[in-house]
Amino acid sequence: MTSIPESSLALELDGRNTPPADIALACKLFDELEQRTSNAFGFTRPSFGLGEQIAHDMVRREAKKLGLETTVDAGCNLYMTLRGRQQGPGLMIGSHLDSVPRGGNFDGAAGVLMGLAVLSGFVKAGITPERDITVMAIRAEESVWFGASYVGSRMAFGKLDGDELASLKRSSDGVTLLSAIDANGGDARAIANGDAYLSARNVGMFIEPHIEQGPVLVDRGIPVGIVTGIRGSFRYRAAHCHGEYGHSGATPRDCRADAVRAVATLVVHLDEAWIELSKQGRDLVVTFSQFSTNPDEAAFSKIAGEVDFSLDVRSEEPETLDLMLKILHEKVEEIEKAQNVRFDLGSISTSSPAKMAPEIVSQLERCAEDLDFQSLTMPCGAGHDAAIFAASGVPTGMIFIRNEHGSHNPEEHMEMADFSLATNLLSSFCLKYPLEEI
C-alpha cells in the first residue's frame, strides 16, 4: 500500500504558501495500478493491450469524478482538461501509460498521475487557472511492443504515415496497429491520412514529468531534476571489423590483422575523445555495447579475424554529434591503415536532440527555489514523448523524479515524498502559466 508522505500531509495542512496537489489521489491510483496490472514477475501494460487500457479507464474515471472534460483523439490518446478563465492555447501535462513487459509501476504512469494530482488539487481548492490545463495520457510510447517509438504522440501530431502505420505489428501477438487502434475506439484511417489533433497552434506548452531512468539524482542525493534537453544520437547497430585469422604464437605483430585489437583501439580513441570533450563542457555519452568474436571461429590460440560490435553515441548538442562522427571516421581510417583491417560500420540511425525551452527551465528552477528544495538541472539520456512535442514547435519541459534501480524493471523505486515535491513544483509552475516570457 502506497503511504501518503508525512511532509505532504503537513504541507496540505499549512496551506497558504504551498501549491495545491492531491497526493492521496496519486497514491490510490498507484496502488490500483499495482493490483490490476502486475503479477509476480512485474508490471505489464502492453501498448493498446489490456494493462494500458485498464490504466486509461482508471484515469478517465477519476477525471470524470473531478468534473474535467475528457476527450479521446483518433489514435486513442486521452485528454483530461480543467477549463481556464481565458480561451487560447493551454498548458498540457502528459506521459504514457504503457510499460515494457515485466517493467515497473512508475515509468510513464508517474507523469500522468502527477498531472491528475495537480488538477485534483486545483479543483478541490476551487482554483480556476488562467488558461486550460490538460493532462494527456499518451498511448504506445514503449517501442518494444510495435517496434516504433512514440507511436501515440506521433499520431497526435499527424506524424505517423500510412505506410508505417500499416506495417506495425505488436511483438507479443502479431496484432496490427491498424486493428488495435480501431478495436480501442480510434480511427486508423484518420491517422493514415495524417490528420493532426495537436499542433504548436493549439498547445501552448507541454511538460512531461517522468522518473529519472539513470542514477544521477540518487547519486547526488537530490529529489527532483529539471531537464535541459533530450539527447539525440547516432548509432551503428551492426558494425563489423574484418581482420585475418592467424596463429597466436607464430604471427609477428606487423603481420597481424587482429580484429579484436583494432576495435579495442577504436574504443580507446573514442573514450579519449569523450574525456576531452567532457573537459570542454560538452554533453556526451559513448557506449560500445555488443562486442563479439565469431564463436564458431574464435579460439584461445587464434588471432581474431572478425569482430561484430555496436556503437551508440548521444549528446544534447548537434555539433557534438557531428564532431564525434568525424572523429569516428578519422579513427577508423587511421586504424585500418595502421593495423591492416577493414571496418564495415553498416547503416547508421540518427535522432536529433530535443532542446527544452530555456524559459521553462528557468521558471521551474525559480519555482523550486521558492518552494525551498534542491533540484538539479540536467540533460536527459533516454527518449521521451516530450521530444515529439519539442520537434513540433511546442515549448516543452521535463521534470525528473528521483528513482532507484533504473527503469524497465520491476525494481524501479520512487519515493512518494520525492513525487510529492515534484508535484508541488509542477503545481506551482501551473499557477504561473501563461509565463510572460513565452
Considering the complex, what minimum distance in angstroms separates the CB of residue 210 from Zn ion?
A: 6
Whether 4 contacts 31, CB under 8 Å: no
Considering the complex, what minimum distance in angstroms separates the CB of residue 55 from Zn ion?
A: 13
Considering the complex, what minimum distance in angstroms separates the CB of residue 98 from Zn ion?
A: 9
Considering the complex, what minimum distance in angstroms separates the CB of residue 112 from Zn ion?
A: 11
Considering the complex, what minimum distance in angstroms separates the CB of residue 399 from Zn ion?
A: 13
Please say which residue, 101 or 194, places its beta carbon nearer to Zn ion.
Answer: 101
Q: Is the peptide bond before 129 cis (omega within 30 degrees of 0)?
A: no
Please say which residue, 99 or 363, places its beta carbon nearer to Zn ion.
Answer: 99
Distance CA 92, CA 94 (A): 6
Please say which residue, 49 or 108, places its beta carbon nearer to Zn ion.
Answer: 108
Please say which residue, 5 or 108, places its beta carbon nearer to Zn ion.
Answer: 108
Considering the complex, what minimum distance in angstroms separates the CB of residue 199 from Zn ion?
A: 23
User: What does the binding site for Zn ion look like in residue numbers (CB under 5 A)?
Assistant: 107-108
Considering the complex, what minimum distance in angstroms separates the CB of residue 416 from Zn ion?
A: 19
Q: What is the end-to-end Cα distance of the chain in Å, rounded?
A: 41
Please say which residue, 161 or 411, places its beta carbon nearer to Zn ion.
Answer: 411
Give the CA distances from residue 304 to residues 82, 242, 269, 370, in Å, rounded to whole numbers and listed in that order: 64, 9, 20, 60
Distance CA 151, CA 307 (A): 34
Considering the complex, what minimum distance in angstroms separates the CB of residue 209 from Zn ion?
A: 11
> For 233, left (φ over 0), alpha (ψ -120 to 50), or beta?
beta
Please say which residue, 109 or 327, places its beta carbon nearer to Zn ion.
Answer: 109
Retrieve residue 425's grid coordinates. 513544483
Please say which residue, 107 or 306, places its beta carbon nearer to Zn ion.
Answer: 107
Distance CA 217, CA 5 (A): 19
Considering the complex, what minimum distance in angstroms separates the CB of residue 357 from Zn ion?
A: 20
Retrieve residue 369's grid coordinates. 527555489
**DSSP string covering 259-324, please?**
HHHHHHHHHHHHHHHHHHHHHTT---EEEEEEEEE-TTT--TTEE--EEEEEEEEEES-HHHHHHH
Give the CA distances from residue 94 to residues 151, 152, 325, 398, in Å, rounded to whole numbers and listed in that order: 14, 11, 34, 10
Please say which residue, 243 or 397, places its beta carbon nearer to Zn ion.
Answer: 397
Please say which residue, 108 or 410, places its beta carbon nearer to Zn ion.
Answer: 108
Question: Within its chain, how far is the Cα of 244 from the centroid?
Answer: 42
What DSSP element (H or E) covers 377? strand 375-380
Please say which residue, 102 or 124, places its beta carbon nearer to Zn ion.
Answer: 102
Considering the complex, what minimum distance in angstroms separates the CB of residue 19 from Zn ion?
A: 25
Distance CA 339, CA 357 (A): 46
User: Residue 426's closest CA among 278, 205, 254?
Assistant: 205
Whether 399 contacts 226, CB under 8 Å: yes
Considering the complex, what minimum distance in angstroms separates the CB of residue 124 from Zn ion?
A: 28
Alpha helical stretches, state H, 86-172 = 109-125, 143-146, 151-156, 162-167
Please say which residue, 107 or 418, places its beta carbon nearer to Zn ion.
Answer: 107
Q: Dihedral through CA 324, CA 325, CA 326, CA 329, nearest 10?
A: 120
